[in-house]
Chains A and B, each alone.
Chain A
Amino acid sequence: EAGVVQSPRYKIIEKKQPVAFWCNPISGHNTLYWYLQNLGQGPELLIRYENEEAVDDSQLPKDRFSAERLKGVDSTLKIQPAELGDSAVYLCASSLTRSTEAFFGQGTRLTVV
């Protein structure tokens, strides 16, 4: 069975440009998470979905970040415009429910120059 799939794996963009990340969770997993991982640190939650509803987006910088999960399956995370400080790894994870273990994708490493 396929795990959580993210694309692209790597992205280099100039500051002020937009960027989007895509995530395909494990089939049947209702809960989807986007995490931000800065270099040398543990991941921090940006947003959590239960099916297509964003139930926790308190840590998402809404002035430049947006996310959606159409039909409760795939999800995209967008940054517009990107800033130098957004350089990090963006991890997507999914779990069967909010109470079960989360499985992570390989992440998208973003570099803003």
Chain B
Amino acid sequence: AQKITQTQPGMFVQEKEAVTLDCTYDTSDPSYGLFWYKQPSSGEMIFLIYQGSYDQQNATEGRYSLNFQKARKSANLVISASQLGDSAMYFCAMRGYNQGGKLIFGQGTELSVKP
């Protein structure tokens, strides 16, 4: 079975500071991909970053980086220099090689950036 766990229902961060959103996963697939999505109040799920299970380096996309620790089965999202517009729900998701294109999502973390 595949499972994504996000243990932080809500997080607060001061503007311009960095924040880490936790994500752990469980899968029996030998190959898989990990994703982070942002969902603002408007409802759209916005793709942020992707990490493949065999990628040697941690993924980075602008202010977003993924701290991938395969042995610990964790894929934490790090947002540097937080901005007010970063306030949103953040979802970690996984797609196993044997699952077709199916994404399994976590429960999400609500991030609030304080001015």
Binary interface encoding of chain A residues 27-66 relative to chain B, with 1 for a CB under 8 A from any of its CBs, else 0? 0000101000000111111001000000110000000000
Whether A103 pairs with B100 at a CB distance below 8 angstroms is: no
Whether A43 pairs with B45 at a CB distance below 8 angstroms is: yes
Binary interface encoding of chain A residues 70-106 relative to chain B, with 1 for a CB under 8 A from any of its CBs, else 0? 0000000000000000000101010101110111111
A107-B44 contact, Cβ under 8 Å, with A99-B101, A102-B101: yes
CB < 8 Å neighbour of B91 from A33, A42, A48, A106: A42
Chain B interface residue count, CB cutoff 8 Å, equals 20
Chain A residues contacting B68 (CB-CB under 8 Å) are none
Does A15 touch B at the CB level, under 8 Å?
no
Whether B100 pairs with A98 at a CB distance below 8 angstroms is: yes
Chain A residues contacting B46 (CB-CB under 8 Å) are 104
Most A CB contacts (10 A, CB to CB) among B37, B103, B107 go to B103
In Å, the complex CA distance between A42 and B46 comes to 13
Between A and B, 13 residue pairs with Cβ closer than 8 Å are A42-B4, A42-B107, A56-B100, A93-B45, A99-B101, A102-B103, A103-B47, A104-B37, A104-B44, A104-B47, A105-B44, A106-B44, A109-B43
